[in-house]
Structure 1
């Protein structure tokens, strides 16, 4: 029963990640990271499929193995948060307390992303993904 629940949750996270690939204000990678985590508990085949993806596999493996985010990933994440906040401000016309709370959340999220280490290059004694 739990395996089916993890599989369904993984499929939901994968669907949200795919949607995020096409919508500029919705993240992609975080949903794919969550999908890999769910699939690791339910479907090794789907987990491997995501980790071997030429597009997202390197970032997912770097996060999983090292807790690392590339410089490009950090840049896109911070830009995405900035654009998201601007669209929120412009579209929702929030009160000052709400705008401040959302701003603090985005700043804390950006600080977390920016403090993650850069991925280490695989050395001659390490295979990619190790």
Structure 2
């Protein structure tokens, strides 16, 4: 029962990570890390599937071993954050308060990410 719950949570986190690729306010990486942790407790096969993924497997392995991110990963994530938040802010043209809120969220997110050791 416990393994089934962890596996279900793992797949929910994977789904949220996929949605987070498109939505700027939903982070992708933390959900993938949570999914990896859930799969590590429930399914060796699903955990290996994440670790062997060509796009983010190396980053998850690095996080599990050293709790760090590579500078290249940080640069790519920064680019994605800036682009997606800029698009969102541009779409909210007449709503200055929402634009300001999105800028604040982006800055907090970037600050948090760049404080993670390399």
Q: State the TM-score, normalizing by the size of structure 1.
A: 0.72
1:10-59 deviation digits (Å, cap 9, x = unpaired): 112223445666x4957543332221022122212211222233432211
In the alignment, the residues of structure 1 paired with residue 94 and residue 111 of structure 2 have an alpha-carbon distance, to the nearest angstrom, of 23
Number of aligned residue pairs: 117
**1:74-85 mapped onto 2 (5 Å cutoff):** 74-85=74-85
Unaligned runs of 5+ in 1: 119-130
In the alignment, the residues of structure 1 paired with residue 12 and residue 38 of structure 2 have an alpha-carbon distance, to the nearest angstrom, of 10
**1:1-130 mapped onto 2 (5 Å cutoff):** 1-18=1-18, 23=22, 28-93=28-93, 95-118=95-118
In the alignment, the residues of structure 2 paired with residue 96 and residue 18 of structure 1 have an alpha-carbon distance, to the nearest angstrom, of 29
Q: How big is the alpha-carbon RMSD for the aligned residues of Structure 1 and Structure 2? A: 2.5
1:115 Cα shift?
1.6
* SS in structure 1 at match of 2:75: helix
